[in-house]
Amino acid sequence: MEGRFIVLEGSDGSGKSTMADKIGKYFSEKGHAIEFTREPGGTQISEKIRELILDRDNTEMDYRTEALLYAASRAQLISEKIIPWLKAGKVVISERYVYSSLVYQGLGRGLGIDEVKKINDFATAGIKPDLVIFLDVDPEKALKRKLSIDGGDRLENEDISFHRSVYEGYKELSSYFPEIITIDGERTIDEIFEEIKGLLTI
């Protein structure tokens, strides 16, 4: 039995973790085996790459280096965790996937969507999600929420213009990838999940 791969996307602080937990609980109550992961990270190697990417001291990191590190982390996660989980018939819920790289590095960093997509096509080995949910929250509101919690990492501390570019990139991206479903993330948690629940078939 093949599993199901669900991805949550959105600006930093848009509520991805909260919805991941709700989705996981929903499937678990229906008797499905669940696995959670995040990007960058999810494996020992990928977590070490995560530390490099998000370290606030690494201000000299070239944008291409950043994009390649994200792709490397993703490749390891897919090979080591996601493919085996899906083959085992599990529901895999990931906070972020390729789409984050397309908007953060492709648009936010100005590297170009096509260039970033090329390296990620190689990294992902053809693994595509069954459902991608974009939580649409104003980036200023989302970032304020995130920074108030933990002070933010290197990318979260970028200027608001960067986060605005990322947000607009997500909205643009959803018109090119039919698997991306946009959900209004500025409502109550219960209202948001009620809409998401209607998308969760298996």
pLDDT of residue 114: 94
Give the orientation angle of helix 139-150 with respect to helix 160-173, to 10 degrees: 120
Phi/psi of residue 6, nearest 5 degrees: -120, 130
Domain ranges in the chain? 4-197
Which residue positions in the chain have pLDDT lower than 50?
A: 1
Residues 6 or more apart in contact with residue 5 via CB below 8 angstroms = 82, 86, 92, 94, 127, 128, 129, 130, 131
pTM above 0.75, yes or no: yes
pLDDT of residue 164: 87
Q: What is the DSSP letter of 130?
A: S
pLDDT of residue 1: 47
pLDDT of residue 157: 66
The CATH classification number of 4-197 equals 3.40.50.300
Selection from 22, 36, 37, 35 nearest residue 196 by Cα? 22
